[in-house]
Structure 1
Amino acid sequence: MAPGRIIFLNGTSSSGKSSIARELLDILDDRVHFHLSVDGFNAMRTKRPLAADELDAALRRTRSGFHRSIAAMASVGNDVIVDHVLSEPWRLLDCLAVLPPEDVLFVGVHCPPDELARREQARGDRPPGLAAHQYDLVHRHGDYDLECDTGALSPRACAERIRDFLPHRPTPTAFTRLRARHLADGRGAQEAAAR
């Protein structure tokens, strides 16, 4: 069975990843796709209050499980659209360790800071300043197959760019290049597994 393809959207909170993913589900009619969102996984967690250290440990396990769920879905032939915030270095390292790099289209989702702040305020379901805090962290690795700016393009236009780019994916992929850079000696994979 051929593995599924993974369209991996990375950007800050409120950058438009989920909106792009919904549009991709609508326009990618060549194959069946599933939208897997880190927010969706977080929403499945118990709602009881957790102490800070307990919450941190639960969030790390949730994200590690999320990464492995993506890999499992794709490994049995499902095409997956991933919506994630790689705001901590270990998250990228873990994804590089568990996802097949040749099957990942890595898309950077950008949005200007003032627009992020406006969206955050309009949403009302995120702590003020969360996107600003994440802004310099999520794209620090500096390598994508494709980038979209939701401050300049609508979610539909971004989805169309991604759809049109899929047949022209680069070789090696951004995940392949990043994996060679960060996991080549095995230490990065060990660090990711230890966190």
Structure 2
Amino acid sequence: MPDVYTTIATADAAVVAPLVETLGAGLPNLTFMTGDAQALPLPPGSVDVAVFHTVLCHVDDPELALAEAMRVLRPGGHVAIFDGDYTTVSVATSAADPLQACAEAAVGFLVHDRWLARRLPALLGAAGFEWIRVRGHNYLDAPSASGYLLALIDRGTDALLAGGRIGPEVAQALRAEAQRRSDAGEFFGHIAYVSAIAQKAGAGH
């Protein structure tokens, strides 16, 4: 089998690289690389499948990233995308729930385009992809949190604190309330995700 190349778009490649090297140990046909999704270090037509897993929402220019995927894919190759519809993030259990402000702050800090998932079919079509299929998925944390949405609340609390919108005492109280709800079986957290698969024309497909 030919080498399989995985390109990881990350701001902290030093952290990710050792992990993927460990995961790929013992697989001689698997090669890990780090790179920029908007300028892939791969030749044209060299890839069978390009995967963007929760990547495009963090990229400044998703159109360029998809153009790069089109460039490196062989004719008949596929692109697979999985990303959050970050407009749907909710941890609120009532109107004006203060934890929702934490979730919103986290999304604002971490996500470049919270609407991207809703534009995936149009973006793929504009990039020249065909046979576009889109599906929806839900992630639910209730009645106790498994970690992801608690972490999101924590990151949002950090962002609010760093921006001067809350003080240390309020930040501590928000974190404590999120943990209390989880421990008491009163936590609710939800986000919708979108997956898309599309194909580059050619090779009789």
Q: TM-score, normalised by structure 2?
A: 0.34
Larger strand share, 1 or 2: 2
Choose 1 or 2 for highest CA Rg: 2
Q: TM-score, normalised by structure 1?
A: 0.35
